[in-house]
Structure 1
Amino acid sequence: MDARALLEDLYGRIGPTATRAVEGLGDDALTARLDPEANTIAWLAWHLARSQDAQVAAAVGRDEVWTRDGWARRFDLPFDDDASGYGQSPEEVGQVRASDDVLLGYVHAVQVESHDVLASLADDDLDRGVDDAWDPPVTLGVRLVSVAVDALEHAGQAAYVRGVLERTGRA
């Protein structure tokens, strides 16, 4: 298996994991918190897609799906369009509200875009530097792995929250 195929497999796991965590939930479950400062399923799903969208687009010089395809307008969040969830306060986390269809629509759109990016890469592209702020500088391959791992961690967190809500009769 070549590196690109491996990345395609890794990225191919994000959407299904997020879908299992989000699909079929109503607003109460999507915005429920396990404690007053915990992340909600809605925020986790939005953030995993936003972060993936922003970082993959920046790494390969593409426009973000968020703004290019109108997802920012559909979500109508009280944040700047460049917000991705990083460093947001508990109050801001609570402001992310969207239906499961909208959340998963955006997750899916980002997955399609990421697949398109990965399909366009050659193995040599993965060695290109994308961030000189680190020592050693970050390559495209390392950035793509990091983005996928982060997205899968958040999808897993959303699945965990869903499981707790279901076991406690809140979902």
Structure 2
Amino acid sequence: MDVKDLLTETYDRLPDLVRAAVDGLSPEQLRWAPGPGANPIGWLVWHLTRIQDDHVADLLDADQVWTSGDWASRFGLAADPNDTGYGHSPAQVAAVRPESAQALLDYYEAVAARTAPFLARLRPADLDRVVDEAWDPPVTLGVRLVSVAEDDLQHVGQAGYVRGLLGAA
């Protein structure tokens, strides 16, 4: 297995995990937080999708899925391409109000549908290309893709845990 196949395998596991975290939940359940300052399922899945959308769009030098269509309105938000949830205050977390589990699934599937062909085209040498010089050391494409996968996996795991707390598993 080459590294492209490894990345593809990792990203291909996410849609089932996202579906398991949100499928069948009501808008109220998606917005429920287990305690003050804790993130609800809807925010966690929205955020992991925003991160993948933002970062892959940057790698493709393309517009984000978020800004093309009515995605933002389905979450009660503005189509701000800079709003990925990073650094959100509790009030900003609470403002993310997915209209349904399907809205989360649809947005994730649209983002994943753009990520998959990008991963399929990767060559080993591509992964060493520097994509962000704002860090020390500079971030390569390979490191960025691992970072996105790590963020997505961490947050979908958190969403699954919160779902368990709901008793909706």
| Bucket of the pairwise TM-score, normalised by the shorter protein | over 0.9
Question: Which fold has the larger relative contact order, with Cα–Cα distance below 8 Å and residues 6 or more apart in sequence?
Answer: 1
* Moved segments of 4+, more than 3 Å: none
Q: Aligned equivalents of 2:32 and 2:76: distance in 1?
A: 20
> 1:148 Cα deviation (Å)?
0.6
Is residue 72–residue 81 contact of structure 1 (8 Å, CA) maintained in 2? no
Moved more, 99-108 or 77-86: 77-86
Could you give the per-residue CA deviations for residues 19-74 of structure 1, whole angstroms, max 9, x where no partner exists?
A: 10101000121111111221010100100000110011112312211112442243
Could you give the per-residue CA deviations for residues 50-108 of structure 1, whole angstroms, max 9, x where no partner exists?
A: 01100111123122111124422433415734200000111111111110000110011
Q: Aligned equivalents of 2:133 and 2:147: distance in 1?
A: 16
Q: CA RMSD in A?
A: 1.6
Q: Does 2:167 correspond to 1:157?
A: no
Q: Aligned equivalents of 2:79 and 2:119: distance in 1?
A: 29
> Which runs of no fewer than 5 residues in structure 1 stay unpaired?
none
Q: Please, what TM-score do these two structures have when normalized by structure 1?
A: 0.92
Secondary structure, counterpart of 2:85 in structure 1? coil
Q: Does 2:130 correspond to 1:125?
A: no
Which residue in 2 is equivalent to 1:85? 85
Which residue in 2 is equivalent to 1:140? 141
> Which runs of no fewer than 5 residues in structure 2 stay unpaired?
none
- Give the percent of matched residue pairs that are identical in Structure 1 and Structure 2: 51
Which residue in 2 is equivalent to 1:41? 41
Q: How many residues align?
A: 168
